[in-house]
Structure formats: structure tokens, C-alpha cells
């Protein structure tokens, strides 16, 4: 066999200039990691390229690590392999048309993304949302948070060596996807929220399924706590690994569970409550250690709190419409569209032009998604398309600190630290 | 225009109009958010002042806007958060179309590092004093700035080498 042709075929093909600059940046980087003993025979320097197709990077994250023996001296994170330019696409779509793209940003908790877009548009265009829709959104968001944390639990614990967790977490997640199927009509990319409310009301089946999940899931969580909280292997793999100091966390722009694991109880749901979060009771789990174990506890406790929020929402769920009854602001209900002329015209107008916020208006609205603060900044020029839409994505900010916390760690811990930070590349790369 | 400012933001506006009279251009509100616009030369001093004196210790986001006007075409917006007052404050600067340059705020908030790289990548606005100034999403070999309004939605054919969409002949 022609070996030369073979080696050409398997040589990684990165963009030439990009690669040169990346290596230059790695070389220029200043770190304070202490060198090991010079005489150590294991003390050999090497540059390790990890990704973008590495299975433990949860997508297409690429790391360039400069190793000294097994110690990571310097790290560079290369993102952008999933860049689809959604902000550019948003400028050419109506607000409602853009909704399915938000599903594909943080594809592990699509419901929160839909709500984030809707709340931002509602803020800029002054749309009133009915009470019942708020509660349905909260239920959806918390279910999405649990489903996202389940993926994190399954993959992170699998990266630490316990493969069976992947199966257990996915079994529970499967139930959640079935609930989403009943609630929204889709299992995965839900697109359920609408500007001015939600697409449809909770059906009786969905209600029964949510109630059953809320009753059975805490027992599973308790079992998982039992197997992990006192597990020596899990402890040793996570304690003191990937430490983000409290002083450093805010400065470096961490958000979500990563920030709360470092000691700041910064949660948008309590800081600037949206929907009806001020009417339910819940705690914001916070830890001081800032290591991977702290992030584990924060996320596990967040799942408990989510269940608590869903219970309260189910109790308080008011009766009434699920979408605002203003044809200039939201889609009319299907009954109106099928049986009245005005309804059909309004439906057509909403699809064609969409909702038009006032000219020159600007708004920023953030929600607490599973990964952290997810904000939409919208600037309007008075038409149905946004002039500029900026998505403030939590994974982007959390990956930035990865460069920092990887330094001084062992190369074997890399995958656990990535798992602990829990990035989603679709959201980071936009 | 009447402003409804909270106590913290009123203090910020008063402080800025006192200490930075020349560089403080305007303050306005839109949809409940407060925006202040300042001169480019003073951005570092003002950011440091806001962080040290008014406790805006968290930089939530920084992004660019293409206004597509003949003068002062680009805008850079900093989204600052005061955890103590639970307030957002948006600081804006405007830049010319030709050779937009801005001093980097990475010395004040470390998190500005990637955000400024993203602004450069998408709009071509350069930052001086940035520790690691490269593009972030697009590869270095790419010559255009995709979020500028003149960049077509479908991209520019041939601007970047893409993997072939047909399977290899062998």
C-alpha cells in the first residue's frame, strides 16, 4: 500500500494561518505553573492537540495543551467549529421565525432558549403575557434544566469512570423527553414558547406525566447521592480539581453553576426575577470550594430545587388563556384561523411581517438557563426583523475560564474538568 | 426625556457628569434598560471608575453593533452588572468606519478577553493592549467580517476552503 498517500489522508487539515497563530498564542502565553524537577526522566515537553473530534469534549471543542510530563503547563481553547452565524441569520428573520434556531443553540435545554428569546422580544415590544403561560413556561424551563443536568451527570460521571451512570441518567432523561413530547409536540427541539405566551395548553396526559415524574424523580436523585457522595474514587477524581477561586470567578466572567460553585449566589431567577419566579420559593445552592466537586453538589441540589419549583407551579397553575389575545402581538389561536376571516388575515400578517417593536428601541433580557445567564440583546429598526440581536451565551463565558483552570492540572483530569464546566458548543459558537 | 433612574444609576450619572464632564455624552433609557454613551478616549478611565466607585464588578457581555451610517458607523456596548444593586448598565462608545480602534478593557475585567476577540472577529474593530488578539470563531485565513451589514447572508463564495461535499473518487 502506498504509505505516502495514506499519511496524507490522515494528516489533520487545519487552516494554515489559523494553526500558526494558535501555536504562537500558546507560546506567548504567560502562566505561573511551577516546573517539575529538571532531572526527572518523565520531564518531556510536548504539545497535545485534543479535539475537535474528541468524544470527551462534548461536541467540537478543541484544546491545545502544552504538557510537561503529565502536567498541563499552558492551555489554549480553540472554539468556532460549530459557528453557524445565527446572529446574522436572526437579522434576516422575523422574531418568531428565529425561534427554531434558538432550540439549536443550547440543544440540551431548548425550552429555556425559547423562553429567553420570547421574554426579550416581549420586553422590547411591550407584550403582556397571560398568567397561565408564565407558569407553563416555568414548568418547561425547570424540566429543561433537569434534562440538561442529567446529561451533565451522565457524561461527567462517565468521564470519571462510572459508565453505568450514563445509562441511569439517560433513562430518567427519556421520561423527560416523553413529557416534552406530550407537552409541546416535540421530544427534543421543542419551540413551544410563543411571543405573547406559549403554543398550547398543558394536556391532561402531560399533566399526569409531570406529576408522576415529580413524585418518582426525587427517589432516583436520592439513590444517586448515595452512590456518589461517599464514593472514594469519585471524590478523589473531583476534589481539588479544576479550582476556580472565589476572587477570580467574577473577574473571569464565570456564570451559572460554575460561578455558584465558587461562592457567588448569583442566579437571575432571584436577582432580577422574570416570569413568576418571585412567587415560588426555592434556594440558590452555593458552594465555596470552586472545584469540580462543588459544581457537582450545586447541580445536584439545583435538580432538587427544580422539582420544588415545579411542584409549586403545579399547585398555583391559574386558569385562563395561554397566549395574549392581541392580533398585533401574537398569533391567533387555531380556532380563529380556521373559522374566521380576520383570524386568517392576522395569522398571515404575523407570519409575513411579525411583531414590530418601536423604532430605535433596545432591550436586554436574561434568563437563568441550565448553563447560566442566557441573555438576548435586541436592537430594533421598527421593522419585523431585529437590526441587531446579540446572544449572551453562558457556555462561551464558561469556556473562557477553562483556559485558566486547566493550567497546573494533570492531563488525565482534562476530560473531568470539561465535564464539570459543562459546555455546549452549539451555544458557545453561535 | 424624563428618566426614571434607580438610586445607584442616578449616582452613576451624577458622578460621571461631575468627574467626566467632557467625555460623558448622553444617558437614555429604552425598555427599562439604561444606556450611557461616552467618548472613546475616556473608556478605560470610565470603566475603571464604574468598577471601583460604583461596584460594577461583573462584565456580563461586550458586543459590537453595525449602525451602517456614514459617520460613527460602529458601536461597542459593554453590559456591566452591579451585584450589590442588582442593576445592569450599558456603556456605549461609537467608532468611525475607517480603522476602528479601541483600547482593551481586559486590564479591568479579565472576562473581556474573548468578548473583544469576538467583536474583532465579527466587525473588524481592533483592540489595543489585548493579551491574545486573534479571531475567535472564524479561522485566521478568513478575510471578511461577517456581521458587518454589507457581508451577504449566504457568504462570499471561495472566501474559505471548505471540505468537498462529494465523496472521494476512490
**A148-172 core/surface letters (b: 16 or more CB in 10 A; e: else):** bbbbbbbbbbbbbebeebbebbeeb
Residue matched to cell numbers 450619572: B13
* DSSP codes, B128-142: ET-SS---SSS-TT-
The tally of domains found in chain B comes to 1
User: A240-298 pLDDT, tens per residue?
Assistant: 888 888 888 888 889 989 999 998 888 888 888 888 888 888 989 998 888 889 999 99
Greater confidence (A9 vs B26) lies with B26
pLDDT value for A162: 82
Which of B74, B109, B136, B161 would best serve as a mutation to test chain A binding (most A beta carbons within 10 A)? B136
User: A73-132 pLDDT, tens per residue?
Assistant: 888 888 888 888 899 999 988 988 899 999 888 888 899 999 999 999 999 988 889 999
Would the CB atoms of B60 and A29 count as touching at under 8 Å?
no
* Residue A156, C-alpha cell as written in the block: 461527567
pLDDT value for A342: 87
User: A159-215 pLDDT, tens per residue?
Assistant: 888 888 889 999 999 999 999 999 888 888 888 888 888 888 898 999 999 999 999
Alpha helices in A252-291 (DSSP H): 257-260, 268-271
Interchain CB contact of B132 with A (< 8 Å): yes
Question: In which band, very low, low, confident or very high, does the pLDDT at A391 lie, cut at 50, 70 and 90?
Answer: very high
Which of B61, B84, B159 would best serve as a mutation to test chain A binding (most A beta carbons within 10 A)? B61
Q: What is the arithmetic mean of pLDDT over A370-393?
A: 90
Contacts of B29 in chain A (CB under 8 A): none
Give the CATH superfamily of A86-326+357-428: Cytochrome-c3 Hydrogenase, chain B (1.10.645.10)
Q: Break chain A into its structural domains and give their ranges.
A: 16-78, 86-326+357-428
Question: In which band, very low, low, confident or very high, does the pLDDT at B120 lie, cut at 50, 70 and 90?
Answer: very high
pLDDT value for A239: 87
Residues 14-73 of chain B whose Cβ lies under 8 A from any Cβ of chain A: 30-33, 35, 57-61, 63, 65-66
Residue B26, domain member (yes or no): yes
Residue B29, domain member (yes or no): yes
pLDDT value for A73: 84
Q: Residue A301: in which H helix or E strand, if any?
A: helix A292-316
Domain region containing B101 = 7-128
Query: Backbone phi, then psi, for A134, in 5-degree steps?
Result: -55, -45
How many angstroms separate the CA of residue B128 from the nearest CA in chain A? 16
Q: What is the arithmetic mean of pLDDT over B17-46?
A: 86
Would the CB atoms of A400 and B114 count as touching at under 8 Å?
yes
With 70 as the cut, is the pLDDT of residue A141 above it?
Answer: yes
Beta carbons within 8 Å of A65's beta carbon, 6+ residues apart = A47, A48, A50, A72, A74, A75, A406, A411, A414
Cis bond before residue A52 (omega within 30° of 0):
yes
Percent of chain A at pLDDT exceeding 90 = 25
How many angstroms separate the CA of residue A81 from the nearest CA in chain B? 7
Residue B165, domain member (yes or no): no
Q: Report ipTM (2 d.p.).
A: 0.89
Residue B28, domain member (yes or no): yes
User: A146-159 pLDDT, tens per residue?
Assistant: 999 999 998 888 88
Domain CATH for B91: 3.30.460.80
Q: What is the arithmetic mean of pLDDT over B55-83?
A: 89
For residue A363, give the nearest of B33, B58, B137 by CB distance: B33
Residue B137, domain member (yes or no): no
Q: What is the arithmetic mean of pLDDT over A14-22?
A: 82
Q: What is the arithmetic mean of pLDDT over A391-397?
A: 91
For residues A164 and A161, give the distance between their C-alpha atoms in angstroms, rounded to a whole number.
Answer: 9
What mean pLDDT value characterizes chain B? Answer: 86
Amino acid at each position: 500500500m502506498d504509505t505516502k498517500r495514506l499519511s496524507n489522508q490522515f494528516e489533520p487539515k487545519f487552516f494554515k494561518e489559523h494553526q500558526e497563530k494558535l501555536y504562537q498564542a500558546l507560546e506567548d502565553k504567560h502562566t505561573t505553573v511551577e516546573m517539575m524537577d529538571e532531572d526527572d526522566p518523565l520531564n518531556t515537553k510536548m504539545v497535545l492537540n485534543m479535539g475537535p473530534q474528541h468524544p470527551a469534549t462534548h461536541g467540537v471543542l478543541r484544546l491545545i495543551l502544552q504538557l510537561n510530563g503529565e502536567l498541563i503547563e499552558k492551555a489554549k481553547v480553540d472554539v468556532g467549529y460549530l459557528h453557524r452565524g445565527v446572529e446574522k441569520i436572526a437579522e434576516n428573520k422575523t422574531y418568531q421565525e428565529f425561534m427554531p434556531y434558538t432550540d439549536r443553540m443550547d440543544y440540551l435545554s431548548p425550552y429555556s432558549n425559547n423562553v429567553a428569546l420570547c421574554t426579550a422580544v416581549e420586553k422590547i415590544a411591550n407584550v403582556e403575557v397571560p398568567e397561565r403561560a408564565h407558569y407553563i413556561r416555568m414548568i418547561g424551563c425547570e424540566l429543561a434544566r433537569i434534562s440538561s443536568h442529567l446529561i451533565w451527570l451522565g457524561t461527567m460521571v462517565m468521564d470519571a469512570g462510572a459508565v453505568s451512570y450514563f445509562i441511569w441518567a439517560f433513562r430518567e432523561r427519556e421520561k423527560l423527553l416523553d413529557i416534552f413530547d406530550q407537552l409541546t409536540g416535540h421530544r427534543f427541539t421543542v419551540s413551544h414558547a410563543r411571543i405573547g405566551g406559549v403554543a398550547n395548553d398543558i394536556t391532561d396526559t402531560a399533566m399526569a406525566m409531570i406529576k408522576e415524574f415529580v413524585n418518582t424523580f426525587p427517589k432516583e436523585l436520592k439513590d444517586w447521592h448515595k452512590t456518589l457522595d461517599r464514593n472514594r474514587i469519585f471524590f478523589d477524581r473531583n476534589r481539588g480539581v479544576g479550582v476556580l477561586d472565589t476572587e477570580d470567578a467574577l473577574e473571569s466572567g464565570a456564570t451559572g453553576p460554575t460561578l455558584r460553585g465558587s461562592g457567588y449566589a448569583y442566579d437571575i431567577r432571584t436577582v432580577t426575577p422574570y416570569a413568576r419566579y418571585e412567587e415560588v420559593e426555592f434556594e440558590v445552592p452555593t458552594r465555596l470550594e470552586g472545584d469540580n466537586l462543588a459544581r457537582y453538589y450545586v447541580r445536584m441540589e439545583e435538580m432538587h430545587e427544580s422539582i420544588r419549583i415545579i411542584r409549586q407551579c403545579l399547585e398555583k397553575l391559574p386558569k385562563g388563556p395561554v397566549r395574549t389575545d392581541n392580533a398585533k402581538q401574537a398569533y391567533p389561536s387555531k380556532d380563529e384561523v380556521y373559522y374566521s376571516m380576520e383570524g386568517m388575515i392576522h395569522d398571515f400578517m404575523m407570519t409575513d411581517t411579525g411583531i414590530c417593536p418601536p423604532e430605535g428601541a433596545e432591550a436586554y433580557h436574561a434568563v437563568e438557563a441550565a448553563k447560566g445567564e442566557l441573555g438576548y440583546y435586541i436592537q430594533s429598526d421598527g421593522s419585523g426583523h431585529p437590526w441587531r440581536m446579540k446572544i449572551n451565551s453562558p457556555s462561551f463565558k464558561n469556556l473562557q475560564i477553562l483556559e485558566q483552570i486547566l493550567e497546573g492540572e494533570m492531563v488525565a483530569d482534562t476530560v473531568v474538568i470539561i465535564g464539570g464546566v459543562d459546555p455546549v458548543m452549539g451555544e458557545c459558537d453561535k | 426625556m424624563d428618566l426614571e433612574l434607580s438610586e445607584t444609576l442616578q449616582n452613576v450619572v451624577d458622578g460621571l457628569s461631575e468627574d467626566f464632564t467632557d467625555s460623558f455624552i448622553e444617558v437614555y433609557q429604552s425598555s427599562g434598560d439604561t444606556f450611557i454613551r461616552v467618548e472613546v478616549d475616556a473608556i478605560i478611565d470610565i470603566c475603571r471608575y464604574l468598577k471601583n466607585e460604583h461596584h460594577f464588578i461583573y462584565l456580563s457581555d461586550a458586543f459590537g453593533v453595525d449602525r451602517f451610517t456614514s459617520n460613527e458607523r460602529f458601536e461597542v456596548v459593554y453590559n456591566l452588572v452591579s451585584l450589590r444593586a442588582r442593576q445592569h448598565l450599558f456603556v456605549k462608545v461609537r467608532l468611525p468606519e475607517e480603522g476602528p480602534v479601541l483600547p482593551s478593557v481586559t486590564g479591568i475585567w479579565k472576562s473581556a478577553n474573548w468578548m473583544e476577540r469576538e467583536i474583532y472577529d465579527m466587525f473588524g474593530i481592533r483592540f489595543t493592549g489585548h493579551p491574545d488578539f486573534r479571531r475567535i470563531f472564524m479561522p485566521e485565513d478568513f478575510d471578511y467580517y461577517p456581521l458587518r451589514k454589507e457581508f451577504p447572508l449566504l457568504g462570499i463564495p471561495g472566501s474559505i476552503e471548505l471540505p468537498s461535499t462529494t465523496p472521494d473518487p476512490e
